Amino acid sequence: MRAVLEDRPPFGPWPARGETVVIDYSSPNIAKPFHLGHLRSTVIGSALRRLYKFTGHRVYGINHIGDWGSQFGKIIVAWKEWGDEERLAENPMRHLFEIYVRYQKEEKDRPELGKRAAEAFRRLESGEDNEERRIWTELREISLRAFQGPYRRLGVEFEAVTGESFYEDKMEAAIERVREAGIATVSDGALVVEFPGEGIPPCILRKSDGTTIYATRDLAALFYRRETYGFDRALYVVGSEQKLHFRQLKRVLERLGWPQAERVEHVDFGLILFRNEETGRWEKGKTRSGNAIFLDEVLDQAVAGIRKIIEEKNPDLDDKDGIAEQIGVSAIIFNDLKNSRIKDVKFDWNEMLSFEGETGPYVQYAGARLASILRKAGVEERPRVDGISWGLLEDAADVLLAMSEFRPVLEKAVLKNEPSLLTQFSIRIAGSIHSYLRDHHVLSAEPKLREARLALVAAARVLLVSTLGILGVTAPERM
RNA sequence: GCGCCCGUAGCUCAGCUGGAUAGAGCGUCGGCCUUCUAAGCCGAAUGUCGCAGGUUCGAAUCCUGCCGGGCGUGCCA
């Protein structure tokens, strides 16, 4: 408790350990909507970024925006066919999504669209200053600006935003490197690295039409990042469905004899599923009407639900809208980080909107109660620890035991790249302090006891705030 | 077909570097607001740990096979 209140490790920031980690997360694709599916990488990645920083690593969070690739040929064609400047300005994500969906639909009946799209990407990748590039530039910039909204709400930050297009002029060198190593072969007109006898399909570096593919860009990005950041470890926070891709990438690096190959890790995670009310089954990220669910709308709904609860539980609260925003957004983040990342997130609105039990609001509520006690006692956030009779806190064994788990929990979370360990830890702290407060009154206790209990309350609050802080969850003083 | 992942209470999960009566939340049932926020707390009921073998003094945990579900499987990302 002394260490907690004095902000010393392991409870305060850990000493630097001289290891540099680059974490690739969020990486939305501007050709596709920023929907709920992007939430996981964003939220897990930024939690890991803060976790690594807290534990003394040098961290570079990188947003590898999906702003390149043959799909942009499709987007360009879709834009030429159905693009509307006004609608784009109004709601860029929505409009780009609509024309993209329309493209997908119409391509089935109009095969010429596919040819035009391939040609459009070829022209884009030619490097010429042509119409394709102008459209791409405009759509890219508008999208990047639109991403700032969700990022601000979620409190997500990056050290670098370098899209795939950033590697446009670095891919040839990457391909050359693989060629020189003598591990590339030509197969069906494509340049590939094969893995004979390993049971995994070859990694394609250049398609038969001469254009590049995501593996090429990931490879170029890895070389660039090694040179730029000198990383010791590189984490990719990307869904499990891309496991094969990262395995191939890693195998290419190993065959190149790249020293850091070992420490390129795919931090994978499960899907977001919704309950199909008719079948009762969990299904992929679509509403009943078949629309993708936009992140902003989910956040808005959560905030609205919280706003209602505040109105009934605490109508006199100041800044109800601001608090509702904090709690609502946190509830979504917390829900995403609650279970092992490998598990699918089952998104159940009824459960989400009740905010009871092991949820974000539960932990925040504990924090608010603690803040309230400290406020009423008139002590500062971190009271002095001198002269406190620690022995009087024997009855707080559960809380103290939970607190002592902080270091091992952080260590395990780093080892396994598993933010859910912190989420579970915050629930344990909240639960134990909730229970303790029921039978152990603080303000009305004898002076010595009161002082000791206040220190406990303050320490629990500090620990809750820093744990939630790593997770990206706020800890309002009132709610 | 092949590869990877998952399978623990009605639901959602934790536990799985093997160790004593398998834990939590939701839901159900029953309690607690004239002292610090009831978004809380306390109690009760609920499990052949998918199935079958094996290793072990001891298996939810390790190994093998099978079943069920998911994801992936050469020019999308």
Query: Model pTM?
Result: 0.94
pLDDT of the residue at A289: 46
A430 near A357, Cβ under 8 Å? no
What Cα–Cα distance (Å) separates residue A40 from each residue in A22, A27, A268?
Answer: 18, 11, 10
**pLDDT at residue A458, as a whole number:** 97
State the pLDDT at residue A352. Answer: 82
Averaged over successive runs of 10 residues, the pLDDT of chain A (479 residues) comes to 94 95 93 78 97 97 92 91 91 85 85 90 89 93 90 97 93 96 95 90 94 94 96 96 95 94 94 82 64 83 95 94 97 96 90 89 97 95 91 93 95 95 97 94 95 96 97 97
Between CA A14 and C1' B33 the distance (Å) reads: 42
At A195 the pLDDT is 92
Q: Which residue is nearest to nucleotide B12 (CA to C1')?
A: A346
| CA distances from residue A37 to A34, A71, A106, A155, A316 in whole angstroms, order as listed | 8, 18, 24, 18, 37
Q: Are strands A184-187 and A190-193 parallel, antiparallel or unpaired?
A: antiparallel
Q: Can you give the pLDDT at residue A45? A: 97
d(CA A119, CA A349): 43
- Checking each nucleotide's C1' against the CA of A365, the nearest proves to be B39
Q: Return the ∠ at Cα A100 (arms to A95 and A105), rounded to 5°.
A: 130
The answer to whether A35 is a known catalytic residue is yes
CA-to-C1' distance for A399 and B32, Å?
A: 22
- CA separation, residue A390 to residues A267, A384, A453 (Å): 42, 13, 9
CA A397 to chain centre: 35
Answer for A329: CB within 7 Å of strand B. no
Report the complex ipTM. Answer: 0.95
Active-site residue, A266 included: no
DSSP A65-97: -B--STHHHHHHHHHHHH--HHHHHH-HHHHHH
Q: What is the pLDDT of residue A33?
A: 67
